[in-house]
Chains A and B, each alone.
Chain A
Amino acid sequence: MPIADKILAKFAKLKGKSLSLASRATLICSVITGSFVHSFMVYKWLVSLIQMVTKKIINFLWTGSCEESKLVRVARNRCCKPYALGGLGLKDLALLNDSLLWKLTWKLITLKNFAFTFLPERDILHLVFMARVQWSDLPVEILPIIFQKLKDPCDAYRCVLVCVSWKSIVTTILPPILLLSNVGKDKTGYFHFKASLNKQSCSLFNTQTNETHEIFLPEVENCWFSSSSFGWLLTISFEPPDEFHLLNPFTRDRIQLPSAKQFSRPYDLRVITSTTPLNRTCLVLAISHFKGVLAFCRPGDKYWTFFEDCRRCLEDVTFYNGEFNAVNSFGHLFHLHCHTPATQKVLRYGRLTSCSLGNIITWWSWMANFYWLLTALPLNTLQNMVELGGDWRYGMYRQ
């Protein structure tokens, strides 16, 4: 307190009123702040004292006297930025105090000075900083990185059961899983249901072990469903008719989409999303193969917005590198622009020459059972898988 008083007493001597704003700022930076440093290096000042001093300094800066206050138009933390960042170069006193004390702490730990070695706290501080780490000390931001590396969904879902905080982390990042639709195309091209409609479960295909599992899911009762992106399911209910939802089979989150009435035949629809549907900025793209209909919406929209010029036999769409890409039966790749309804456009991008990816996608998409494959996996994974060879594909085909 006496130090603060002494420093503030300096203000009285300064003829603040006769100085310009810039010169007052310079005065504060050089003379006033400097006089705190010595005391700050050793003592931790009371918060209330720092606030009081800061208030007087700000008053002096704007009015020229530390007793008169005035409505200030520039926020203090903006004034406290360095010149280069558009501030006045003032110092935040609380921060200055903390950093100077940390500097002292640092010296205590690291300096091999004779006098410092006598301090008993030095050993304790050393222990605190150098303690051997344990797995439970792992920073929280590392865990999601590890979970993303779990390729087998079984492993990820077992991690759900480890503890409550893990559950909340794991359910945000699910590894690619393949959820099988309950609709298939028979040889004549008609759609039929592969299982009874009142079943309360859906099938999950594990690409790592080539096994299918049944997962309990009461929400899909009386629904047609197929896989969408990010491990979500698209469900279209029969009762009430044509209600569209995106459903997360593990967290059971449900997002309503605009009604399916705008589509004449919703049962060969494929829906993919740009991010997880929980994100409000997510774009939902729907493609119907039967009539070549392409539409998009955002969660919460009332209607689907249709692409006007999409009669180009688009076979399939996928989201890759921040853009929706579509491919037609000739292997042409298209970028789809659907940021605002007014400018939606299908832009021709180019023909795929190497490895005829287009044909592969077409090949997949013609088999109604495999719509989900593209949605569940990013484009590059698909390429790798195709390179893996024929047996795997045959295995999938037999599902």
Chain B
Amino acid sequence: MASSSSSSSTQVKKITLKAADGKHFEVEEPVAMEMETVKSFFVGNEDAMKDMVVPLLNVSSEHMPAILDFYRNHSEFRKRTPPPPAEEVKAFNEAFLENKSDEQLMEMIMAANFLNTKELLNFLTEAAANRIKNKSVEYVRAFFGIENDFTPEEEARIRAENEWAFDGLDED
């Protein structure tokens, strides 16, 4: 008993997360605790052993490394004194989103929603909002895969009333 407690104090505890397709990921405990879903698995559940595997069925192993990377970096940013310059955080965030397709972004939003992590969800939804910025209605519909269920008259009426919102759009 004594030996186990002393070893845990010297090295960071790890928690194993299991992604949807069965792959295992070892994560440091503070990083894993950023995710409310993982946290609730342990809090108030004393039987749960810390070396237990936490199944995360809605998160595919494709996105797991990126999500963990985000949390490692951001928790490091938070700990650092003085706080890192805004440019550094911004550069990391931009690099994070680079090469991410719309579908990948969507899947990560779902994953962040499932993991109940506010910071990541905020960041990703902002990215999604940026991707539909200055785009036409047709583009937004195609982006979200939504059917137009307005009648033509209704659509024309709303369009005429809010005409000002349709100037100066970007190319789709």
Contact = CB atoms under 8 A, between A and B. Distances in A.
Nearest to B112: A142
Given A145-B125, A204-B164, A155 B106 contact: no
Nearest to B110: A133
A164 B149 contact: yes
Contacts of B20: 129-130
Top 3 closest A-B pairs, CB basis? A213-B164, A149-B129, A136-B145
Contact of A135 (B102, B113, B121, B137): B102
A163 B148 contact: yes
B150 A164 contact: yes
A135 to B, nearest CB: 5
Contact of A161 (B106, B133, B155, B164): B155
Contact of B162 (A132, A151, A160): A160
Given A161-B150, A215-B162, A146 B140 contact: no
A159 interface: yes
A258 interface: no
Contact of B150 (A146, A159, A163, A213): A163
Nearest to A150: B129
Contacts of A213: 164-165
Given A161-B162, A215-B162, 18 more contacts: A130-B21, A132-B107, A133-B110, A135-B106, A141-B113, A142-B109, A146-B125, A146-B128, A148-B125, A149-B126, A154-B165, A157-B165, A158-B166, A162-B144, A163-B141, A164-B150, A215-B164, A250-B162
B97 interface: no
Contacts of B162: 157-158, 160-161, 215, 250
A158 B150 contact: no
B38 interface: no
Interface in A110-150: 110, 129-130, 132-139, 141-142, 145-150
A243 B135 CA distance: 40
A146 to B, nearest CB: 5
A214 interface: yes
B134 interface: yes
A163 B147 CA distance: 7
Contacts of A135: 102-103, 106, 143-145
B125 A142 contact: yes
A321 to B, nearest CB: 19
B133 A155 contact: yes
Given A130-B21, A162-B141, A149 B150 contact: no
Interface of B: 20-21, 55, 57, 60, 102-103, 106-107, 109-110, 113, 121-122, 125-126, 128-130, 132-137, 140-141, 143-150, 155, 158-162, 164-168
Contacts of A151: 129
B56 to A, nearest CB: 12
Interface-centre pick from A110, A160, A204 (highest chain B CB count, 10 A): A160
B58 to A, nearest CB: 9
Contact size range, A = 35 or more
Contacts of A378: none
A89 interface: no
A212 to B, nearest CB: 9
Given A133-B107, A152-B133, A161-B137, A139 B147 contact: no
A43 interface: no
A46 B123 CA distance: 47
A132 to B, nearest CB: 8
A133 B108 CA distance: 10
A266 interface: no
A130 B106 CA distance: 15
B11 to A, nearest CB: 30
B159 A161 contact: yes
B19 to A, nearest CB: 10
Nearest to B130: A149
Nearest to B123: A149
A290 interface: no
Contacts of A209: 168
